[in-house]
Amino acid sequence: MKQYDRAYFDRWYHSPRRRVRQRELLARKVRLAVAATEYLLDRPLRTVLDVGCGEGAWQPRLERLRPGVRYLGIDSSEYAVARFGRRRNLRLGSVGELGRLGLRGPFDLVVCSDVLHYVPTPELRRGLKAMARLLGGMAFIEVFTREDETVGDSHGEQRRGAAAYRRLFREAGLTRLGLFCFVGRALADTTMSFERA
């Protein structure tokens, strides 16, 4: 069974080979997600739920962009929650358990980056439905498919095709806008037909 401990995070996120690129890429993702959410909501970002947040790397970047933003990270790594939980507001939980954690939404932005391709389908279905219910603005959900060439941790990866993800997201009530951005039913009608990919 995969362990999301300090060695895992050091290997995949903190090694000197990956660190600079990871930081730059994360900064761009955060700026994209914030700008798109604020565009759709027509107001500043206030609340963020980060599902599968790991060490909560989005939190300090969001705080720099939007001081006072309320961030909540959920992750199954006991190590990450013990180390960063208090400082970055992380709680223990998994994608499949999301609907049973007693979270109070809606959240302006729901983030789930580089996680879902490791989640078994029954848990994925439950998690996507919970994300859609908790979503009050936009979701940034980055997922890799079997059609994508990836470099990194492939242990435990669920090799689903893009069509399978599109179907699962639609079933959960998530409308795709492109660039890993999605809206729930509440905002779907406010988007233009051409935006909806």
Q: Is residue 46 part of a domain?
A: yes
Mean pLDDT for each consecutive 10-residue tract of the chain (197 residues)? 58 55 89 98 98 97 98 96 97 98 97 95 98 98 83 69 96 95 91 79
pLDDT at residue 156, rounded to an integer: 64
Q: Is residue 113 part of a domain?
A: yes
pLDDT at residue 144, rounded to an integer: 87
Which residue, chain included where needed, has tokens 């599902």?
51
- Give the structural domain span for 119: 6-188
Q: Is residue 193 part of a domain?
A: no
Q: Is residue 110 part of a domain?
A: yes
105: Cβ contacts below 8 Å, ≥ 6 apart: 49, 133, 134, 135, 136
Q: Is residue 70 part of a domain?
A: yes
Q: Is residue 195 part of a domain?
A: no
pLDDT at residue 159, rounded to an integer: 84
CATH of the domain at 53: 3.40.50.150
Return the half-sphere exposure (C-beta side, CA atoms, 13 A cut-off) of residue 129: 11
Q: Is residue 1 part of a domain?
A: no
Q: How many domains does the chain have?
A: 1
Gap between the Cα atoms of 136 and 41, Å rounded? 9
pLDDT at residue 180, rounded to an integer: 92
Q: Is residue 118 part of a domain?
A: yes
pLDDT at residue 13, rounded to an integer: 53
